[in-house]
């Protein structure tokens, strides 16, 4: 019997780490690493990217203030993920279908919902689901948006909708959910035009990426579904936009789904519910990521080009936060949802038991 094994599994395992470096256009020192791609953006493009990231950072800060005041329901902080979120959503078109998760409210607003509608969604009000954006409401179940996106993508293909895709998000923890793989596998099998975006921010609440999976990259998980995938510097809005646009162009040409893993970082807590990041990560772990802040690197480029100033940014922040204060006031003035109305929306034709419940609550509400 031969001493040499028929298969060298260790070599196969070691080869899994032989992956390309994440795509990048602008590094953490604001140095251009891909001149050709950088030159494809006009000065106006660069300024617009910066405005969108400043907008999202201001949205986060003001919304967290509202949350501390008890004026919000559930809210998932986004500070640090501006490049990943704005870069990808800006590469989409209004006819595309968004299937967001709960940390993707900024993308939902950019895709057509209003800030007031987003705040109402946070509060669990029915009007928070009635936006004009071509989107579902944010999905609370981890990974479930991938399943929804697969179905929407198949619908796009069967209906022969031109120049249209579905795009969806999950975090690194979401890739450990069965729904995520099922959605990717379905889209891959039917070659549906779905862009799967994994925002790898390092932690699934408190579970670090290294403990979630032995896979060297999360992008590799798409391979089993026959889907091309790539890692991107998620703190570089230029790279995120360029890769998302390239993926969209590839898909509308009839080539099936794509997965993008953005390497980003959640600067604060997982949610406004109150988890404490200091309990599961150290200052030494956080500091390198704070230095990669997506706003810092693009701000330096624009300032060096004479296209940006601190005064201009401060003015924008004030304007944005004033608009968010107007939005929360508008949400405050919306009449509260009634229990009887929620019951009426459950079934098209209420069951006899539910009709009794509706009558009971209507009697209480009329007093």
Please list the pLDDT of the chain residue by residue as tens digits (367 residues): 557 889 988 998 999 898 889 999 999 999 999 999 999 999 999 999 999 999 999 999 999 999 999 999 989 999 999 999 999 999 999 999 999 999 999 999 999 999 999 999 999 999 999 999 999 999 999 999 999 999 999 999 999 999 999 999 999 999 999 999 999 999 999 999 999 999 999 999 999 999 999 999 999 999 999 999 999 999 999 999 999 999 999 999 999 999 999 999 999 989 887 788 889 999 999 999 999 999 999 999 999 999 999 999 999 999 999 999 999 999 999 999 999 999 999 999 999 999 999 999 999 998 8
DSSP 199-244: EE-SEETTEEHHHH-S-S-SGGGGGGGT--EEEEETT-HHHHHHHH
- Bridge partners (DSSP) listed for residue 261: 198, 231
Whether 100 is in a domain gets the answer yes
Tell me, rounded to whole angstroms, the distance of Cα 94 from its chain centroid. Answer: 16
Contact 199, 242 (CB under 8 A): no
Give the pLDDT of residue 1. 55
DSSP 251-304: HHTT---EEEEEE----S-SSTT---GGGT--HHHHHHHHTT-HHHHHHHHHHH
Whether 206 is in a domain gets the answer yes
β-strand pairing of 166-171 with 194-200: parallel
Helix (H, G, I), strand (E, B) or coil at 338: coil
Whether 149 is in a domain gets the answer yes
- Is there a catalytic annotation at residue 134? no
- Domain total of the chain: 2
Whether 345 is in a domain gets the answer yes
* Pair (171, 58) in one structural domain: yes
Helix 82-89 with 43-68: angle, nearest 10 deg: 120
* Pair (356, 240) in one structural domain: no
What pTM, to 2 d.p., does this model score?
Answer: 0.95
User: What is the residue-averaged pLDDT of the chain?
Assistant: 95
Q: Which of 103, 111, 209, 270 is catalytic?
A: 270
Give the pLDDT of residue 278. 87
* Pair (146, 235) in one structural domain: yes
* Pair (276, 354) in one structural domain: no
- The boundaries of the domain holding residue 360 are 337-366
* Pair (115, 234) in one structural domain: yes
* Pair (264, 351) in one structural domain: no
* Pair (270, 170) in one structural domain: yes
DSSP 26-75: B-TTS-BS-HHHHHTS-HHHHHHHHHHHHHHHHHHHHHHHHHHTT--S--
Sign of CA dihedral 84, 87, 92, 98: positive
* Pair (29, 167) in one structural domain: yes
Whether 2 is in a domain gets the answer no
Give the pLDDT of residue 2. 59
* Pair (134, 89) in one structural domain: yes
* Pair (108, 26) in one structural domain: yes
Q: Which of 125, 266, 297, 299 is catalytic?
A: 266
* Pair (268, 344) in one structural domain: no
d(CA 141, CA 152): 17
Give the pLDDT of residue 290. 94
Whether 19 is in a domain gets the answer yes
d(CA 281, CA 299): 28
Query: What's the Cα-to-Cα distance from 215 to each of 19, 84, 218, 266, rounded to whole Å?
Result: 11, 21, 7, 21
Contact 164, 145 (CB under 8 A): no
Whether 256 is in a domain gets the answer yes
* Pair (221, 89) in one structural domain: yes
Contact 145, 139 (CB under 8 A): yes
Give the pLDDT of residue 3. 77
Q: Which of 71, 123, 190, 280 is catalytic?
A: 280
Whether 205 is in a domain gets the answer yes
Contact 260, 88 (CB under 8 A): yes
d(CA 308, CA 301): 9
- Is there a catalytic annotation at residue 280? yes
Return the percent helix, strand and coil in the chain, to nearest 5.
Answer: 50, 10, 40
CATH number at residue 36: 3.40.50.970
């Amino acid at each position: 019997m031969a001493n040499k094994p028929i298969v060298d599994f260790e070599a196969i395992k070691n080869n899994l780490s032989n992956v390309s470096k994440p795509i990048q256009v602008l590094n953490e020192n604001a140095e251009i690493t891909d001149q050709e791609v950088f030159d494809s953006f006009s000065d106006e493009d660069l300024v617009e990217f910066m405005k969108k990231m400043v907008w999202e950072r201001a949205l986060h800060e003001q919304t967290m203030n509202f949350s501390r005041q008890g004026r919000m329901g559930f809210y998932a902080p986004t500070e640090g993920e501006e490049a990943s979120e704005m870069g990808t959503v800006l590469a989409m078109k209004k006819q595309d279908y968004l299937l967001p998760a709960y940390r993707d409210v900024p993308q939902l607003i950019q895709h057509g919902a209003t800030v007031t509608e987003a705040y109402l969604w946070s509060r669990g009000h029915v009007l928070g689901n009635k936006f004009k954006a071509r989107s579902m409401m944010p999905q609370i179940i981890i990974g479930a948006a991938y399943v929804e996106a697969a179905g929407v993508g198949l619908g796009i293909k069967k209906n022969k909708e031109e120049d249209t895709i579905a795009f969806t998000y999950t975090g690194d923890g979401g890739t450990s959910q069965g729904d995520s793989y099922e959605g990717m596998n379905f889209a891959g099998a039917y070659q549906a035009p779905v862009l799967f975006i994994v925002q790898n921010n390092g932690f699934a609440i408190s579970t670090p990426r290294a403990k979630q999976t032995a896979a060297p990259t999360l992008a590799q998980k798409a391979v089993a579904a026959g889907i091309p995938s790539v890692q991107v510097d998620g703190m570089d809005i230029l790279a995120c936009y360029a890769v998302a646009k390239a993926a969209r162009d590839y898909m509308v040409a009839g080539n099936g789904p794509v997965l993008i893993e953005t390497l980003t970082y959640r600067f604060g807590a997982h949610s406004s519910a109150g988890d404490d990041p200091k309990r599961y990560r150290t200052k030494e772990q956080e500091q390198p990521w704070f230095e990669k802040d997506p706003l810092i690197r693009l701000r330096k480029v624009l300032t060096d080009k004479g296209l940006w100033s601190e005064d201009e940014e401060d003015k924008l922040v004030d304007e944005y936060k004033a608009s968010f204060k107007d939005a929360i006031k508008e949400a405050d003035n919306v009449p509260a949802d009634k229990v009887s109305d929620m019951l009426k929306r459950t079934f098209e034709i209420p069951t006899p038991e539910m009709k009794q419940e509706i009558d009971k609550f209507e009697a209480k509400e009329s007093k």
